[in-house]
Amino acid sequence: MIGDAQTTKKLAKANFEAWAGTYDHSLMNHFLFLPSCYTFLEELAGWQADRKGSFDLLDIGCGTGTFAAMLSGSNLRTGCIVGLDYAMEMCRRAQHKASSLASDPRVRFLHGDSEHLPFEDCSFDVVTCANSFHHYPQQQSVVCEMRRVLRPGGRLMIIDGFRDNVIGWVVFDVIIATYEKSVYHAPWTVMRSYFESAGFENITHRKFNLVFPAQGKLRRDLPDARQPQRVCSRETGRASNRLCPLLCLCVGY
């Protein structure tokens, strides 16, 4: 799929160890990663509206822990929030961010590999993974691991590059793949087969644009994540060929 697994992971680790210091100030963070956090908050607000009680959440490939910090500051009813990342420096910065914003004992960060999650079966109600999945050389194994640590009735949410149209193909398969080297943005049909093979069902997805006109408004609305804002078109059924480079996939079992 994307070459030798160990080499691929080492390369990603080295890139992100080096990037961690400037990551939060990068354009990519502004235009891709932050909007992904808002999208997860929106999805979670909708999901929790139909449920009682709090949820425990694992964020895989958590980077500098921005999403965990936003979530802990939101009005969503959360239990523990765990961020996991393969780059030590990302975890260190995530921990620093969490303790400088508000030392919330529910939030912690671990160094680890998405392929071997250091948790018992059925440990979380929600697993999130934003902009990280394309770095995983064994993607089917990771989806099975995600399913293993989820409790029945739980939800997996993945956001990654949508490369099933010409723009997406150029952005992700040509430009990003050249820059990041060993990465694989799976087509929608492949993602669906991963979920089905792992035993997930109830698959929904949203596509959204690179530039988010509503981003400023959303930021002002935080931390009340229970006011869902429309940041992107929502579609159900199948991915269509619009010029939209990111895809948010939600599945459960």
Ligand X SMILES: C[S@@+](CC[C@H](N)C(=O)[O-])C[C@H]1O[C@@H](n2cnc3c(N)ncnc32)[C@H](O)[C@@H]1O
33 vs 194 by CB, closer to ligand X: 33
Of 130, 156, 171, 248, the residue at the interface with ligand X (CB under 6 A) is 130
Residue 93 near ligand X by CB under 6 A: no
Stretches 57-65, 191-199, 212-220, 224-232: which one binds ligand X (CB under 6 A)?
A: 57-65
Pick from 35, 61, 245, 252 the residue near ligand X by CB under 6 A.
61
Stretch near ligand X under the rule CB under 6 A, chosen from 47-55, 124-132, 175-183, 199-207: 124-132
Residues whose CB falls within 8 Å of the CB of residue 192, separated by 6 or more in sequence, listed in order: 203
Q: Write the single-letter amino acid at 40.
A: F
- Does residue 161 interact with ligand X by CB under 6 A? no
* DSSP β-bridge partners for residue 252: 155, 201
* 33 near ligand X, rule: CB under 6 A: yes
CA atoms within 13 A on the CB side of 163: 19
- Output the CA torsion 63→179→216→77 (10° steps): -30
Task: Provide DSSP, 65-111.
Answer: SHHHHHHHTSSS-EEEEEEEES-HHHHHHHHHHHHHH---TTEEEEE
Pick the closer one to ligand X by CB: 119 or 153.
Answer: 119
Q: With contacts defined by CB under 6 A, name the span among 81-89, 175-183, 198-206, 222-230 that binds ligand X.
A: 81-89
Helix (H, G, I), strand (E, B) or coil at 36: helix
* Residue 48 binds ligand X, judged by CB under 6 A: no
- Closer CB to ligand X, 135 or 185, in the complex: 135
Structure tokens at 181: 């080297």
Of positions 40, 136, 162, 172, contacts ligand X by CB under 6 A: 136
Minimum CB distance to ligand X smaller for 81 or for 152: 81
Burial 98-128 (b: 16+ CB within 10 A, else e): beeeeebebbbbbebbbbebebeeebbbbbb
> Is the distance from CB of 133 to CB of 158 less than 8 angstroms?
yes
Q: Considering beta carbons, is residue 116 or 238 the nearer one to ligand X?
A: 116
Positions that interact with ligand X (CB under 6 A): 9, 12, 16, 33, 36, 60-63, 66, 85-87, 90, 113-114, 130-132, 135-136
